[in-house]
Structure 1
Amino acid sequence: MSNPALRRALQHRRFVVAPGVFDMISAKVADGMGFAALYATGFGTVASHLGLPDAGLATYTDMLGRVRTFAEGCRTPIIADADTGYGGLLNVRHTVAGYEAAGVAGIQLEDQETPKKCGHTPGRRVIPAEEMALKVRVAAETRRNPDFLIVARTDARTTHGLDEAIRRGRLYAEAGADVVFIESPESEAEMAEIGRSIRKPLLANMVEGGRTPILPAERLAQLGYAIAIYPAVGFLAAAAALERAYAHLKAHGDSTGLPPGESYGFGRICELMGFPEVWDFEKRWSSSEAPR
C-alpha cells in the first residue's frame, strides 16, 4: 500500500526535502531523521548494488528487489527512480505495477532513449514527447492507489533547450503526471521560468557538482518547486568517509586513532540495524525462559 503522507504534503504545500538513499544503511539512517520523503537514487543504487555506472545497465529485476527492500525497511515515503520504465508501454505498465506493489510512494519515469544515462552527464537523447506522454498515461492508468505518485522527468533541456523541456513538462502534466521533473536547468533564471510555466508540483534535482545550481529550500519554494531531491549527498559523503578510514588503516596498520566522529560506533550501528529486538527475542525464547 502506497504511503499517503507524501501526497498529503504536496496537497498542503509543505515543501519536501528528500535525501538520496542507496543501500539499507543509508536508508535506515535517513528514515530516522524526520524527512517527509526519501529518494531511492538510481545512480547510487546501481553503484552500490552492481558497482556500475548509471548508464542503463541495471534491469527492472535488479532495481525492484532493492526498491522493495527500501520500502519494507522504512517508515518514510519513498520516491523511486525507475529510469525509462525499462522499455515500451507494456514494460511501463509492468514496472509501475511492480513498484506500487513493492510499497514505494511514487515512481519516477523519464523520457530518455534506451539505454538511458545519468541526468547530469553528457550525451543524453530523448524519445519523442508524444511517446513519453503515452508512457505517463499508461502509468497513471496502471496504478491502483491514487496516493501512488507519478513523477515524469524530461531530459530535453541539455540537448533541445529550455523551451522544449517546458513544453514536454506541460504535456506530461496533461497526460497525468502528479509531479513534473525538468532535469538539469542551468541557472536560477531557468528554474524561475520553469516555475512560472508549469502548474503542477515541480521537483528540483540538487546534485553536488551537477549542472543545476543548488538553492536553499526556501528559495526553491519561492520559485514554484514542491520537492527537492538530493540523490548524491549520501553516497558522496559515504565514499569520502570510507576513503579516509581505509587510508588511515593502510597508513597505520590498525583502526585506532581515527579522528572523533569518523566512526559511527559499533553499538550505534547494532541499534540502527535492530539487534536489540533480536537479543530481546532470543532472551525471551531461550530454553530457560521460553513462554509457556
Structure 2
Amino acid sequence: MSAALSAAEQGWHVFPLRPGTKRPALHGEAACSRAGACEGGHRKWEQRATTDPDRIRATWAQGPFNIGIATGPSGLLVVDLDMPKPNSNGDTPDGATTFKALCERTGHAVPTTYRTRTASGGQHLYFTAPNGTSLANTAGTVAPLVDTRAWGGYVVAAGSITGAGPYEPVGAPVVAALPLWLLSILKPAPKASQAPSMAVAGQSRRYADTALACEARSVAGAQLGEREAKLFRAARALGRFVAWGDLPRHVVEQALQEAGEAAGLPPSQCRATLRSALNWSVAHNQRRQGAA
C-alpha cells in the first residue's frame, strides 16, 4: 500500500496486480458484473488505474497486491531494458548494452532519469511523454531487447515482489523528459503514400522518387544531435517503397548514405543504421497500404 500511494503521489495511475505476479488482479470482461466501477460498461485496467489515495487504500487493504502503473494515463514513456531470454545465444547482449550502443551512435549519453531494477535483472527507465503526442507500446523498435510502454501498456512499480525477486528504485529520483532523439524514433512514421491501391506503376514510382529526394534532403540538413535519428526514420519511411518494388534497395541506401555523410555522420555509422532500419521496414511492409 505504501509503494502504491507513493507512486500515486507522483501522478502515476496505479492498479493492483496479483500478489507475487505481474498479472492484473482486476476481473476480465467475461466475468464482469457491470456493477460498481463497471456500471456503465466493463472498464479495463488502464481505465480503472487511479491516483485517488482513498481508492488505493481500500484496494490494498484487501491483500498484498503488487503495483501496476498504467503508463499512458500517467503521462509516462518507460523504456524496458530486458535481459536475454533463456533460449538466447550465450553472447547475446542485454537491453542495457544495446541501448547504450544506440546512445553512442546517436551522439548522446545514456539519459539520467528515475529507473527501477526489475526482478529479472533488467531496468525500466522512466520518462515524461510530451504533451499532445500519443505514443504506443513498441517491441524491439528502438533496439534488440529494448521495448517501450506507453498507451495500452503498464509496468510493475518499485515495491512489488515476484517469485524472481523485487522491483527496486535505482539511480536518479527525478523523471526526465523523453529525449527528442528518442522521441523521433518512437513517433509513428508518417504515411508515405496516400495513392490509391490500384495506382499505375508510373505514378507510384514518381511518388517514391519524390519521397526519396525529400528524405535525403532532410537527412543532409540535419543538425548535430538529430542526424542519426533522422537517418533512421528516413530509412524506415523509405523501406516500404523497397518492399513494394517502387525503389531498388541499393538506390535508397546510396542516397541516404550520401546524405548521412553530408550531415557529418561517419560512413560506418550510416551503413549500420541503414541496414538495421531498412531490414525492419522491408520486413514489416510486405503488403502495400490499402491492399485488400
* TM-score, scaled relative to structure 2: 0.27
Larger radius of gyration: 2
- Higher relative helix content: 1
